[in-house]
Structure 1
Amino acid sequence: MMTGIAARAAQARQELVKWLFATGQFFWPWLEDLTPAQKKKLEDDLTRDEARIDALDFGKDPEAALEEARRLADSETERRRGTDQKAATYLPLVAALIPLVLTLVSALWEKKAGSAPIWLNMVLLGLAVAYTASAGHWAFRELKVSVSHEPGLSDFEKAWAVPHPRQTLARRLLLHTRRNSKGVNWKVTCIKMAHEYLLRAFLTFSLLLLVNIGWYLAGLLMKIWWPAHDQMLTTPTQAIAAVAEIDNLAAQLKTSPAWMVLDKNCRRPKAARAPLIVASTTVAMTSKIPAVLQPVTNDAGVVQDIRLACGGTAVGRMRVWYISNRLTKLPRSPGLPDPLAVSASETIVFLKKYWPPTDTKDDPAKFPPILFQQANLRRDSDGRPIVLVITRIRPGAITLP
């Protein structure tokens, strides 16, 4: 049984290594170094091929043999020339991408182009630049000067020093062709690596553009499907009206609970001309009762979330903490959640205004998600705290011309 488990674990490990290797090759191709055994085999193959070429007998048709040897030599030369031409084509293409990369970096960094986050743009752009640089590196390696075996004076001297010069010359041509094959194969490998990296650079640049286009279109669709109720200031008239509204709202919130102020404003002619919608969303028991409520042992705490809306527009949210047994005998007003319906006195303990912004980095024409945050403590007739209300007022609470 243990042998079977060990065999399955070894197989799973091999599969994982293969998957990691394939994934790495997909994102960043590389060449594996030859083992000593593989290098020795290549050397032995070359030595054996040289011996076989020296032993060839072209006595039947030396002219045809010489012609075929020249054709093989020309074919190998043409293969070498083809890789050089491709490398010479790739290098200007890589050089032409440099101004494009600099322009993209400047535009993305200064947010003149691109809708996606700057970190995502920079990751894709950095990957594209790395691919482009690697393509240029392999193209330069292909163009590196290397040893080439060509027929020379010694070959002709050796050929014409024997009774059958055509046969000897054919053997010399085949020998040079075989010795050149290693260098030409290396050039082909370099150009294939340059091609792989240049292909990935092109695909990464394409992905960069597609991500920004998709991000922009997704933003438009989100605005259509989930329209934001937050308002933007587009004219001086709206800015003046917004400041006046905010100051008026702040003056009221200093002395009155937020839901009462919002209900009064919602009934105005220029608003919804209707009562404020106060809807409870969640109610849960809690053991963490705020200390301001002065809880005692065995008090049952409750936390409740309440949504505030005016004419279909969200104007605020409330989080309410209270101790349920303190509300049981208090008189209530209809139409409100329990902690707001009970009769109590109001004490505004905290009020914070978030607009106009005090930080120069914030855009004054854009409202923040929250305009005001108010903390209101409700007390019963004996002065005992019974309800703590935290209200966050949204930009939908003000009406602009």
Structure 2
Amino acid sequence: MNFDLFWPTIKMPSEDKINEKINIDIRKIKGQHSSTNSQVILDEARRLYDQEQDRRSTADNKAGIYIASIAALLSIILSLIPTIINANQHFAINVINVLVFTMAIMNLLRAAIWAKKVISVSSFHLIHWGDLLSAHNNIDIENYLVKKLLCALRANYDLINNKVTSIKMTHALLVSACFWFLIIIIIRILSHFSSMLFDFSINPSGNNPMIYICYFCNDYA
């Protein structure tokens, strides 16, 4: 059974392990010697660098859409709170409705928190004008720019992956919230039909016995 449908969770790696891996990879990049194919590597590094920037902007745009959708959905759902508890229903059904509704709201709020993490202020590594001035004074310009691009690319890789992970977690939480709301609808439909069957079993003819009582009383009035 997929329990993530009920309560999605994810285990994120520790910051220390991530930073340690980044430092190891950056040391490997800086330790690389110049190559005769530096131009090819530079072009590929630029392509990957632009691709990571596109991934970052896409994640930010999706997060903004998710936050707006969650805010609109919460305003509609919170207005339905008085209809969750029905005095004509059994106490146990009302308790189940409240619990399921609470789970749905909690998953929506968790989705908003994960989406907020995406658009929150975070570091992003770029090649600035000082790096270009240093490249101008360097003998092997292409190799210098390759290392700078690859270092920035590696440093941004985990940051952007965290954004993408947060977006996927937001989507999973929204699916889970919709699942809980679907359960509420199913419970209400079943309780409605069960009450109709119960009323029919008590009074199969469908007539109201109070009508006969009042009619009987009028005969003696």
TM score, norm. by length of structure 1:
0.48
Question: Among residues 166, 183, 186, which one is paired with 2:159 in the alignment?
Answer: 183
Residue aligning to 2:26: 50
Which deviates more from structure 2 when the two are superposed, residues 47-56 or residues 104-113? 104-113
Per-residue deviation, 1:243? 8.9
Counterpart-to-counterpart distance in 2, 1:150 and 1:206: 46
Question: Among residues 160, 168, 191, which one is paired with 2:136 in the alignment?
Answer: 160
Amino acid at match of 1:129: I
1:239 corresponds to 2:208: no
1:121 corresponds to 2:100: no
Per-residue deviation, 1:206? 1.2
Counterpart-to-counterpart distance in 2, 1:112 and 1:145: 50
Amino acid at match of 1:204: W
Counterpart-to-counterpart distance in 2, 1:242 and 1:222: 28
Taking a change above 3 Å as real, the CA distance of residues 184 and 194 of structure 1, as seen in their structure-2 partners, is: same
Per-residue deviation, 1:240? 5.4
Q: Relative to total residues, which structure has the larger strand share, 1 or 2?
A: 1
1:84 corresponds to 2:47: no
Number of aligned positions between the proteins: 217
Taking a change above 3 Å as real, the CA distance of residues 73 and 111 of structure 1, as seen in their structure-2 partners, is: farther
Per-residue deviation, 1:189? 2.1
Deviation per CA, 1:283-306, whole angstroms, max 9, x where unpaired? xxxxxxxxxxxxxxxxxxxxxxxx
Taking a change above 3 Å as real, the CA distance of residues 45 and 99 of structure 1, as seen in their structure-2 partners, is: closer
Deviation per CA, 1:358-401, whole angstroms, max 9, x where unpaired? xxxxxxxxxxxxxxxxxxxxxxxxxxxxxxxxxxxxxxxxxxxx
- Equivalent positions of 1:1-20 (< 5 A) are none
Counterpart-to-counterpart distance in 1, 2:162 and 2:219: 77
Per-residue deviation, 1:223? 4.8
RMSD of aligned C-alpha atoms? 3.1
Deviation per CA, 1:87-107, whole angstroms, max 9, x where unpaired? 111111111112321332123
Contact 1:58 1:65 in 2 (8 A): no
TM score, norm. by length of structure 2:
0.83
Residue aligning to 1:7: none
The structure, 1 or 2, with the larger RCO (C-alpha pairs under 8 Å, 6+ apart) is 2
Per-residue deviation, 1:210? 1.5
Taking a change above 3 Å as real, the CA distance of residues 119 and 231 of structure 1, as seen in their structure-2 partners, is: farther
SS in 2 for 1:117: helix
Q: Relative to total residues, which structure has the larger helix share, 1 or 2?
A: 2
Contact 2:5 2:175 in 1 (8 A): no
Residue aligning to 1:29: 8
Per-residue deviation, 1:195? 1.5
Per-residue deviation, 1:123? 1.7
Counterpart-to-counterpart distance in 1, 2:181 and 2:6: 14
Contact 2:85 2:97 in 1 (8 A): no
Residue aligning to 1:140: 116
Per-residue deviation, 1:68? 0.5
Taking a change above 3 Å as real, the CA distance of residues 238 and 187 of structure 1, as seen in their structure-2 partners, is: same
SS in 1 for 2:80: helix
Per-residue deviation, 1:211? 1.4
Counterpart-to-counterpart distance in 2, 1:88 and 1:112: 41
Deviation per CA, 1:44-73, whole angstroms, max 9, x where unpaired? 321221122113345323322211011111
Taking a change above 3 Å as real, the CA distance of residues 223 and 60 of structure 1, as seen in their structure-2 partners, is: same
Taking a change above 3 Å as real, the CA distance of residues 87 and 242 of structure 1, as seen in their structure-2 partners, is: farther
Contact 1:63 1:166 in 2 (8 A): yes
Counterpart-to-counterpart distance in 1, 2:45 and 2:11: 33
SS in 2 for 1:162: coil
Per-residue deviation, 1:233? 4.7
SS in 2 for 1:173: helix
Counterpart-to-counterpart distance in 1, 2:99 and 2:48: 48
Residue aligning to 2:150: 174
Per-residue deviation, 1:173? 0.8
Per-residue deviation, 1:231? 7.0
- Equivalent positions of 1:199-348 (< 5 A) are 199-223=175-199, 226-228=201-203, 232-233=208-209, 235=211, 238-239=213-214, 241=216
Taking a change above 3 Å as real, the CA distance of residues 112 and 181 of structure 1, as seen in their structure-2 partners, is: farther
Counterpart-to-counterpart distance in 1, 2:216 and 2:81: 41
Percent of aligned pairs with the same amino acid: 25
Counterpart-to-counterpart distance in 2, 1:158 and 1:181: 24
